[in-house]
Structure formats: C-alpha cells, structure tokens
Structure 1
Amino acid sequence: MKRPQTVVILAMSLDGKIADAKRSKARFSSSVDRFHLEKQLAYVDAALFGAGTLRAYGTTLPIKTPDLIEWRQQQNKPPQPIHIVCSASGNIDPNFHFFRQKVQKWLLTTHKATQLWFEDPNYFERILLLEDWNTLLEQLWEYGIKKLAILGGGELVASLIEQDLIDEFCLTLCPVILGGVDAPTPVEGTGIIGTGARNWELFKVERVENELFLNYRRVTVSS
C-alpha cells in the first residue's frame, strides 16, 4: 500500500500526560519546544489532529519562522502544510480563530456529518470521508501527501496504532508532573495487551536545558 510516512509529534509531562485532568490547553512546554514543533511541521505535507485538540486551542500552529517558510519554498512546497481536522460528529465552532488562519484546511469526517459543512473555501477546502484508515491514507498519498504529522489527541493516535499505521514518534519530555487518572496520554483507546505491543527504536536524543527531545521509529518485524 502506498501511504504517507506518519509521525506523531507531541509534548508530554514526565508522567506521560499531554494535558491536565481538565484537558486544558497544554502550556507546560518551553519556547524551544514550540520552535521544535514548528520545525517538524516544516518537513511534512499535512498535519492531522482531532477536533478535541482544535476545541482546546481554537487555533492551529502555522509556520512563522521566515527561514522555515523559505526552505519549504525551495523544496517546491507551499508555505504551510495542509491542516486536517478529524471529527466524526463534524461539531466544530465556525467562529474559531482557526478559520481565519492562512492555512489550507481539510475536514476528515463521516458521511452524516458532511451535511453540516460544505466545501466552502471560507471553512474547509476539502472534505474527506473516513471509512477506514488504510483507504484514507492511500487517498492522501494520491493527493500528494507523502509525509503526515499527527498532532493528537490520544484517541486519534490510538486508532492508527491499532492498525499499525504509525512510523515514528517525535516526543518532547517536559519537566512537569500533571497526574490525574483522567488526564489524557499520547495513546488512549482500549490499550494493547501484553505481547501485542510493538517495539520502538530510539534513534535520536537531544537535550535542551531540562527538556528531552526523543525520536522513536517502528521496528520492522522480519517474516
């Protein structure tokens, strides 16, 4: 199957939380991490995130650094990657600042929810139906998306992990502890039992002050 390379990009606390128990905006990472995220977005063709993530912030993160925008243009890429919102219900506030940001916006949703939105360039330039992830990723490849960032939340990441469709994790470990049984983690869902868990290879580590930047890639299982 031809599909985009997929990389999950997330910042998390020392105890593995991506937000607090109230699912507030995650503001615990540093300005270094925010630039790190921007730099990772410069390498991808599209960024996928759940509606819960959009509701928490009301915005997305565009690339602002001139050098990164110039680098994309040198690579014959548009200044910004496509930003794809995944929402089964299609229940998204049209007054979010997100809709005024100068990025190309796509919606990934169910057939029923498409009735709530039309392909109006003031909202979403393209609406995609999510029937299964393999078909969807093949479709994204056909649209020219060769590298796809997944920015959360945990349910979205879990649905891709369950079908073994994540190639890389790019994680920032931040020096805070949030706690809370209801605080979200990078991978939610029903969980993976015992020997069903895939091994990951740590291939890059960088420390900046008290933050660690960790890159893991999937370990290919020999047949």
Structure 2
Amino acid sequence: MHVVVNAAMSADGKLSSRRREQLAISGDEDFARVDRVRAESDAVVVGVGTVLADDPHLTVKDERLRERRRERGEPETPARVVVDSSGRTPTDAAVLDDAATTYCCLSEAAPVDRRAALADAAELITAGEERVDLLRAFAALQEAGLEQVMVEGGGELIFSLFEAGLVDELRVFIGPTIIGGRDAPTLADGEGFVADFPELALEAVDRLDEGVLLTWRVEDR
C-alpha cells in the first residue's frame, strides 16, 4: 500500500484556527490538484475529528476526472475511510452517503449501538482495543483492494500514521496567511516525537496560487 498524506496549512503551520473551523487556506489551483490526487487514489482517509468539524464529502468534484475513472472500470469516486475509535461518526454525515463505499475503522471499545448504526451505511473494520490499531486497519484495507491511499487529516491521525511508519509521501500546500494560536491544530498533533524523528527527502517544490506545494518522500525509519 502507498500512503500519501496531503494537507494545506498556513505559513505558520496551522491547519485551522483554535476554533477548529474549516478555513480556505488553498486557492483554485490547489483545490484542482487535490481533486486530481483523489481521482488517482483508491481511498481517501480522514479521522473522525475532521468528520465532526467539517462534514466533508470526500468525493471527486471534476466530471472529467470521474469519467476517466469510469473508463478505467473504477467507481467514479474513491472509497472513503474514517478512522473512528469509539464510533462517533454521525449517521447523517456526508461521508456516509451512497456516493462511494465507506469504511469505518473502529476499536473494540466502540459501543454496540454505534456499531449497529454505522453498519447500515459503512463497511466496519475493527482493529485495536481502545484505539484503532492503524497497522492492522490499513492491512485490512489493503486486503480489500485499496493500494493507493490519500490521507486528508486531521493532525492527530497524521501524527499517528507517521508514528506507525505507514506514510510513504507527504504533500503540503503552504498558504499565504498566518493563523496563530497555541491551541490551533498543526500538521502532526498527538503526543509528538522526542526521538527517532521521521526523515523526509524533498522531491519537489511548486508554486501554486499565492503559496507553495512541497512534496517529500518519507525515508525508511
């Protein structure tokens, strides 16, 4: 499985404000790029925090890109994956509509009633006792045929994926704004590393809109 983390952050490294509300950090060029990356992927992955904050649809927007997927014999939009240890995804979340297959990765601690509610709209993967075991969950996704995976956030999930050694590539659009705030989410939140830091090799630098896109390959740890 090839895992690409894709994110947009402010010039000071924030994904959104301390209120954790969705902000338009990117411009039209980067939005179009993200749509292309989605169209090239087998699945788009987010954490439940992103679902609760933004209620994203996670579908391919450009009809031409959807048509190319159909021509390849693929669903017109990739599968969607929510990493949700305790089953907090609302049953009316946009990501659970019938636009594409959705997988919910749960831990064994997710309540039975939440499992039952989510099972009506999603394929359930159980991995881990209190929190989702990402290694096991991603192995199950790969067994389901998902090979090219795009991760769109948030910061807690991105850190956990780096911690598990699952990230192969990092693409970050840095937008021309300052958000600030010690409590504003960053690209990689969670507990943070104190040693054995992931090493990145710079692959490309591209100017988009009024910002810059940085592409890194993650070195083996």
Task: Report the TM-score, using the length of structure 2 for normalisation.
Answer: 0.90
Deviations along 1:78-126, one digit per CA (max 9) or x if unpaired, are: 11111011111212222333333612211111123262133877521x1
Taking a change above 3 Å as real, the CA distance of residues 146 and 54 of structure 1, as seen in their structure-2 partners, is same
Taking a change above 3 Å as real, the CA distance of residues 114 and 31 of structure 1, as seen in their structure-2 partners, is farther
Q: Which residue of 2 aligns with 1:182?
A: 183
Tell me how far apart the structure 2 counterparts of residues 104 and 200 of structure 1 sit (CA, whole Å): 32
Does 1:164 pair with 2:165?
yes
Q: Which residue of 2 aligns with 1:8?
A: 5
Task: Report the TM-score, using the length of structure 1 for normalisation.
Answer: 0.89
Tell me how far apart the structure 2 counterparts of residues 82 and 209 of structure 1 sit (CA, whole Å): 29
- Aligned-residue RMSD, C-alpha: 1.9
Deviations along 1:48-79, one digit per CA (max 9) or x if unpaired, are: 10111011112323102122112222333211
Taking a change above 3 Å as real, the CA distance of residues 6 and 114 of structure 1, as seen in their structure-2 partners, is farther
Does 1:57 pair with 2:54?
yes
**Equivalences for residues 1-223 of structure 1 within 5 A:** 4-100=1-97, 102-113=99-110, 115=112, 116-118=114-116, 123-124=121-122, 126-131=123-128, 132-194=133-195, 196-220=196-220
Aligned residues between the structures: 216
Taking a change above 3 Å as real, the CA distance of residues 128 and 167 of structure 1, as seen in their structure-2 partners, is same
Extract unaligned runs of 5+ from structure 2. none
Deviates more, 1:133-142 or 1:7-16: 133-142
**What is the deviation of 1:217?**
0.6
Taking a change above 3 Å as real, the CA distance of residues 101 and 179 of structure 1, as seen in their structure-2 partners, is farther
Tell me how far apart the structure 2 counterparts of residues 142 and 54 of structure 1 sit (CA, whole Å): 25
Deviations along 1:202-223, one digit per CA (max 9) or x if unpaired, are: 11221123121111111246xx
Tell me how far apart the structure 1 counterparts of residues 69 and 213 of structure 2 sit (CA, whole Å): 23
Deviates more, 1:71-80 or 1:199-208: 71-80
Contact 2:159 2:190 in 1 (8 A): yes
Tell me how far apart the structure 1 counterparts of residues 146 and 58 of structure 2 sit (CA, whole Å): 19
AA paired with 2:161?
L
Aligned identity (percent) is 27
Tell me how far apart the structure 1 counterparts of residues 70 and 155 of structure 2 sit (CA, whole Å): 32
Extract unaligned runs of 5+ from structure 1. none
AA paired with 2:6?
I
Contact 2:7 2:153 in 1 (8 A): yes
